[in-house]
């Protein structure tokens, strides 16, 4: 690319020959009307160029499917370049042939029989929007041989994308990228006797990584990647991200892009975003869900940060992401700063609840007299009405045996957590949003950790004989569906509140869409919510959801009441109905609380018979 006269045809044809691919001169694709207009010294308008740019985009798309090619095209504006690389961004390398007006003018004057004369040169320079990112810039004062040598090395020897950190997730994402045909640089630190030649061993073991370049030297790793560099950090969240970033910084160039694919706290992501922006480095916080298998076969990816930086990494992330029912990538730009890690955090909070609900359902079905095989069969029948990934894996878990007993019976009942549920609970408190089920699921895990104290307490308080609750498995299903609807309402409400406070402008329907596959909370319910959230940002305002909850509510109350009478622990199922009962009430008991606050702290209150909204205070003891 570049203005007329910089040598696009000469360099393009020689580069194509050096790479062994076809060459196409964009000028040959101008319609006759454009050529006649330029021949008369009249500059082309954007309307004149539209069809021509579309045709070149189709040409490039077709050639990529065969062997690739080199195309010479002025591509003077950023909007033109966006049109030329539409849907093929990750497969495009831009070469900008740069020269001064005087240098190019001399070349124009030396050419014969070309429709572009000297008179149009100034208009070309006036129109030119020099690319600042995603481009190889070449000074045309070099000889063609020097330019070709440099470009051939850049294209053939430099890689397109780097992955730093080759643990479970980093390894799987690297293999996924390799399967999609991207040329990669892979780095893992060297630790004597512990982590030795990790990247090299990966390349040796996996044929999809045969073209990848392995490194355990950081400088060589960075220098091997095309600029602007795109490096995905797959390291532990927290201080490790900061340490790795500082190690990388001296070797990065302006407009390079770092992508944090770990479970980082969204507030830290904002700090890193602002810090690296001051260093002219882009930072993309990308929540990744799907576990080891998802990372390899197609995860859900939730990227955020500068939107232009996301445009650079989008082809790579979308290529490896799972696909929804319409074959669209389960990856979408979430918003600015740390919004990607925020929605991943809330995803995990919703996940905590979904897991707890299934555990509670198993408790209820067990006390209805079913063994684990029978419970698995019951849950399998629920897939018609409540299908989800977590339901599927729970069925598999219940059926797994070790010897004559079920394996799950041998697992110590102490549930761990990695912090995202805690962060979500803190965020919901800070934002003043009642995501009570997430907090309840988190505290259920915390309570499980006190195993010794629970055993001691059970000797005093647990009934030795617990009567079977007078409920049916169908009623348990309806209570489960009710609770899941409330859980999803609370999760999306939390995201909506954060989006408004931070001005992230998160599209909830699009977020639900990318959560329909690849992630842990994918489900048929999530598919339904795509349309619900397209029409209404508040799930509880949707007519269909309201009708469903009304139908499910009687069974839910019956199940919870029966469980309480039988002393069966179902904290999240109970919280679902308690939340709605507390929330869906026109006049609550909060007036008493506000009066109490005014009594001891003079916090004032508003009166419901005073429409002015002014504050009132009463001396209550007089």
Active centre residues (catalytic): 344, 351
Sequential DSSP letters for 421-448: HHHHHHHHHHHT---HHHHHHHHHHHHH
Q: Residue 265's closest CA among 339, 164, 170, 355?
A: 339
Q: Are 216 and 197 spatial neighbours (Cβ–Cβ below 8 Å)?
A: yes
> What phi and psi values does residue 181 have, to the nearest 5 degrees?
90, 5
Query: Which residues, 6+ apart, have CB-to-CB distance to 169 below 8 Å?
Result: 234, 261, 262, 288, 292, 295
Strand, helix or coil for residue 76:
coil
CB 347 within 8 A of CB 122: no
Q: CA-CA distance, 439 to 425, in Å (whole number)?
A: 5
Residue 100 contacts residue 122 (beta carbons within 8 Å)? no
C-alpha pair distances (Å), 333 with each of 276, 312, 493, 578, 621 = 19, 12, 19, 35, 57
Cα–Cα distances in angstroms (integers) from residue 297 to residues 174, 180, 188, 323, 516, in the given order? 11, 11, 22, 10, 15
Q: Are 8 and 144 in contact, with CB atoms under 8 Å apart?
A: no
Three-state secondary structure call for residue 286: strand
Please state, in angstroms and rounded to a whole number, the distance separating the CA atoms of residues 102 and 434: 67
Q: Is the peptide bond before 228 cis (omega within 30 degrees of 0)?
A: yes
23, 72 in Cβ contact below 8 A? yes
The CA-CA-CA angle for residues 550, 568, 415, to 5°, reads: 100
Contact call for residues 199 and 187 (beta carbons, < 8 A): yes
Tell me how far apart the alpha carbons of residues 189 and 196 are, in angstroms, rounded to a whole number.
8
For 565-570, the CB contacts below 8 A with 24+ separation are 565/467, 565/469, 566/367, 566/466, 566/467, 566/468, 566/469, 567/462, 567/463, 567/466, 568/363, 568/364, 568/367, 568/466, 568/469, 569/360, 569/363, 570/360, 570/363, 570/364
- Pairing state of beta strands 405-406 and 401-402? antiparallel
H-assigned helices in 279-410: 291-297, 307-320, 339-367, 372-381, 383-386, 389-399
Task: Read off the tokens for 383.
Answer: 């897939």
Among all chains, which residue has been given the structure tokens 């102490």?
A: 414
């Amino acid at each position: 690319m570049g203005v007329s006269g910089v040598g696009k045809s000469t360099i393009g044809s020689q580069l194509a020959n050096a790479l062994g691919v076809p060459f196409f001169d964009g000028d040959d694709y101008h319609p006759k009307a454009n050529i006649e207009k330029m021949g008369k010294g009249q500059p082309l308008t954007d309307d004149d160029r539209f069809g021509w740019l579309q045709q070149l985009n189709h040409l490039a798309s077709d050639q990529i499917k065969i062997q690739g090619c080199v195309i010479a095209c002025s591509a003077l504006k950023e909007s033109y370049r966006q049109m030329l690389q539409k849907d093929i961004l990750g497969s495009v390398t831009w070469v900008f042939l740069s020269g001064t007006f005087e240098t190019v003018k001399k070349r124009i004057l030396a050419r014969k029989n070309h429709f572009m004369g000297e008179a149009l040169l100034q208009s070309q320079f006036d129109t030119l929007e020099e690319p600042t990112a995603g481009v190889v810039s070449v000074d045309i004062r070099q000889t063609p041989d020097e330019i070709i040598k440099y470009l051939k090395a850049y294209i053939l020897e430099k890689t397109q994308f780097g992955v730093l950190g080759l643990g479970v997730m980093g390894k799987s994402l690297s293999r996924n990228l390799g399967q999609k045909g991207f040329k990669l640089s892979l780095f893992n630190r060297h630790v004597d006797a512990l982590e030795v030649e990790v990247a090299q061993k990966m390349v040796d073991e996996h044929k999809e990584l045969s073209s990848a370049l392995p490194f355990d030297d950081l400088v060589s790793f960075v220098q091997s990647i095309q600029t602007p560099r795109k490096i995905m950090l797959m390291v532990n969240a927290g201080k490790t991200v900061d340490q790795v970033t500082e190690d990388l910084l001296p070797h990065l160039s302006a407009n390079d892009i770092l992508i944090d694919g770990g479970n980082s706290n969204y507030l830290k992501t904002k700090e890193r975003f602002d810090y690296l922006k001051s260093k002219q480095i882009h930072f993309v916080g990308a929540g990744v869900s799907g576990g080891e298998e998802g990372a390899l076969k197609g995860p859900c990816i939730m990227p955020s940060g500068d939107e232009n930086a996301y445009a650079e990494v989008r082809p790579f992330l979308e290529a490896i992401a799972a696909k929804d029912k319409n074959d669209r990538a389960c990856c979408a730009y979430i918003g600015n700063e740390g919004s990607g890690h925020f929605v991943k955090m809330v995803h995990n909070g919703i996940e905590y609840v979904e897991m707890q609900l299934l555990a509670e359902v198993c408790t209820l079905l067990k006390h209805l007299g079913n063994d684990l095989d029978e419970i698995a069969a019951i849950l399998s029948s629920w897939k018609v009405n409540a299908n989800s990934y977590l339901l599927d894996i729970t069925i598999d878990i219940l059926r797994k045996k070790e010897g004559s007993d079920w394996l799950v019976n041998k697992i110590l009942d102490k549930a761990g957590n990695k912090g995202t549920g805690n962060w979500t609970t803190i965020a919901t408190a800070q934002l003043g949003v009642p995501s009570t089920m997430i907090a309840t699921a988190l505290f259920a895990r915390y309570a499980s950790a006190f195993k010794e104290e629970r055993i001691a307490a059970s000797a005093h308080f647990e009934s030795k004989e617990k009567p079977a609750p007078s409920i049916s498995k169908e009623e348990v299903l309806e209570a489960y569906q009710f609770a899941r609807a409330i859980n999803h309402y609370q999760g999306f409400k939390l995201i909506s509140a954060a989006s408004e406070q931070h001005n992230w402008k998160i599209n909830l329907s699009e977020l639900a869409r990318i959560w329909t596959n690849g992630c842990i909370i994918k489900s048929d319910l999530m598919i339904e919510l795509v349309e619900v959230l397209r029409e209404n940002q508040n799930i509880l305002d949707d007519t269909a959801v309201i009708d469903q909850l009304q139908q499910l509510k009687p069974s839910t109350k019956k199940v919870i009441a029966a469980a309480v009478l039988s002393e069966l622990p179902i904290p999240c199922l109970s919280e679902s109905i308690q939340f709605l009962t507390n929330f869906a009430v026109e006049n609550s008991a909060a007036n008493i609380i506000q009066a109490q606050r005014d009594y001891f702290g003079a916090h004032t209150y508003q009166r419901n018979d005073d429409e002015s909204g002014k504050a009132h205070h009463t001396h209550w003891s007089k």
